[in-house]
Amino acid sequence: MFRAGSLPDVAEQDGTTLPAPPPAPPPLPPKLADPVPAIVVGTGLWFVAFVVVLLFGLDTILVWTCLSGSLLGIIGYGVFKWQRSAARRGSRTAQRGLD
């Protein structure tokens, strides 16, 4: 049914040794692992878009979209900050890896 060397054929081989797993990638530098700049820039861009839409009097849907994007960015940053402080405090219910 399958060609020789295809995935099911290879999976059914009874070889006793498995290849060594690849080495783990190095950790990201702290500057690249910190999501705060991306959150702040994204929220700021939504706010700038909101101001531009207001100044040029564009469509109402665009006004509400930009306002929603900026407000959700602020709320999201608040949730992120709250989870980060809980993780640093050692709370059991906090997300891991936010320190």
**pLDDT for 20:** 81
Give the chain's domain count: 1
Domain-embedded: residue 55 = yes
Contact 39, 74 (CB under 8 A): no
| DSSP conformational letter for 37 | H
Enclosing domain of residue 42: 35-59
CA 66/CA 72 separation, integer angstroms: 10
Q: Is 56 a residue whose pLDDT tops 70?
A: yes
Q: Is 1 a residue whose pLDDT tops 80?
A: no
Greater confidence, 96 or 48? 48
Residue 33 tokens read as: 């692992």
**pLDDT for 6:** 58
Domain-embedded: residue 12 = no
**pLDDT for 15:** 55
Domain-embedded: residue 49 = yes
pLDDT in tens, 13-53: 555 566 788 899 998 888 888 888 999 999 999 999 999 99
